Amino acid sequence: MDVSSKRHIITTKDGSHSLMVPELNEQYHSIHGAQQEAEHVFLKMGLDYFEKDHLAVFEVGFGTGLNTLLSCLWGRGNEISIAYTAVEKYPISTKEANQLNYGELVNQPQLFNQLHECDWESNVILTKNFSLSKLKLDLTKDELPVGFDIIFFDAFAPNKQPKLWTIEIFKKMYTILNEGGVLVTYCCQGEAKRTMLKAGFKVEKVPGPPGKREMLRAIKC
pLDDT above 80 for 2? no
50-85 pLDDT, tens per residue?
999 999 999 999 999 999 999 999 999 999 999 999
Band (pLDDT 50/70/90 cuts) for residue 137 is very high
Relative to beta strand 8-11, strand 17-21 is antiparallel
Task: Say which amino acid occupies 141.
Answer: K
89-126 pLDDT, tens per residue?
999 999 999 999 999 999 999 999 999 999 999 999 99
> Is residue 139 in a domain?
yes
Q: Which residues pair with 17 in a beta bridge?
A: 11
Q: Are 111 and 117 in contact (CB under 8 A)?
A: no
> Is residue 49 in a domain?
yes
> Is residue 25 in a domain?
no
Band (pLDDT 50/70/90 cuts) for residue 4 is low
> Is residue 185 in a domain?
yes
Q: Which domain holds residue 95?
A: 33-219
> Is residue 61 in a domain?
yes
The residue-averaged pLDDT of 212-219 equals 97
Report the Cα 209 to chain-centroid distance in Å.
14
DSSP string, the chain: ----TT-EEEE-TTS-EEEEETTTTEESS-TT-HHHHHIIIIIITTGGG---SEEEEEEE--TTSHHHHHHHHHHHHHT-EEEEEEE-SSPPPHHHHHH--HHHHTT-HHHHHHHHHSPTTSEEEEETTEEEEEE---TTTS-----EEEEEE-PPPTTT-GGGSSHHHHHHHHHHEEEEEEEEES---HHHHHHHHHTT-EEEEEE--TT-SEEEEEE--
Domain count, the chain: 1
> Is residue 22 in a domain?
no
Q: What is the pLDDT of residue 6?
A: 81
CATH number for the domain that contains residue 68: 3.40.50.150
CA distance 152 to 131: 16
Q: Report angle CA 67, 63, 144 to the nearest 5 degrees.
A: 90
Round the average pLDDT of the chain to a whole number and report it.
96
> Is residue 97 in a domain?
yes
> Is residue 14 in a domain?
no
Q: Are 19 and 7 in contact (CB under 8 A)?
A: yes
Model's pTM, two decimal places?
0.96
Q: What is the pLDDT of residue 23?
A: 85
pLDDT above 70 for 175? yes
